[in-house]
Amino acid sequence: MPVATLDGVKTNYITQGSGPHLLMMAPRGFNSRIQSWDGGKWKEMDVFNALAKHFTIIAYDRREAGLSGGRVEVLTWDVFAQHGKLLLDHLGVEKSWVIGPCMGVAVAAQFGVRYPESCLGIMLPQPVGGHRWFTRLRGFFDKHTTFVLEHGLEAVVKKVSGKSFQDEPECGPWASCIFNDKNFAARYVKQDLERYLGIVADTCDALFPSSDVSGPPAEDLTNLEIPCLVWSGDDPSHATSAAHQLRELLPCVEYWDVNVANQTHEGQLEQILKFKANVEAGKIVKKAA
């Protein structure tokens, strides 16, 4: 797989297909990597091969995930969105379609807010949000902080086993960087502990300030005039209310109103291609204020 260095961060990515570009922000929370598309309806769709018939897909391991690198700093949706933009710049892509399921919704929506001139349309399937998601994710940060306070940073490095932050929260948001990069791990243990814990706390607050749909604040979403496609999830991490918030707030939105039980992989692909055609035909217009 090709690798790019973007703002000093090693980035693992793939491209495939032909036609307009599609930047793919992977699902599965903090395990947002290329392989994370190999699950659920996306696996049934054979997502890369299916979409590569209609787009030039660009899939990547988000920073702090998979084989990509990272940096100990306050992580925000804007930081993650900038990473995607830098990858497009690296590839010489001026405009792209964007898709980001699950926690990728937050990154994709922030990408649209920050870089509207680079977006042809944004697809936001099964967004994360709701009280259970909020308490669960903040609980991961609490577990990591407690572990560091009790055992120190060297214990974090010893405990890291290749699992993601969500699978082994005691190891923190930089677990994959520690596991994959010995130099990163060596720098990690030498940090000032108080400063580090401040970064962890600020990251938690920046990413998960409330139980609303994760991503840009409501005032930014209401000003996002890029055409968007939304459909809902329905489980403790992907509350239906999160999708309905996007449906309410986004001014140019197409909503696939189908119960999760009836969301087939054929239906997902059909909606993506229908959305693309509707945007290209100018059929998705701004809602009345």
pLDDT for residue 223: 97
Q: CA 74, CA 287: separation in Å to the nearest integer?
A: 35
Task: Of 156, 145, 149, give the one whose Cα is nearest residue 179.
Answer: 156
DSSP secondary structure letter of residue 129: B
Domain boundaries, the chain: 3-129+213-280, 132-207
pLDDT tens digit sequence for 178-193: 999 999 999 999 999 9
Question: Which SS3 state, helix, strand or coil, does residue 224 take?
Answer: coil
Regions in the chain scoring below 50 on pLDDT? none
CATH number of 3-129+213-280: 3.40.50.1820
Q: Exposed e or buried b for every residue in 118-139, given b needs 16+ CB within 10 A?
A: bbbbbbbbbbbbbeebbebbbe
Q: CA 87, CA 16: separation in Å to the nearest integer?
A: 15
pLDDT for residue 265: 96
pLDDT for residue 189: 98
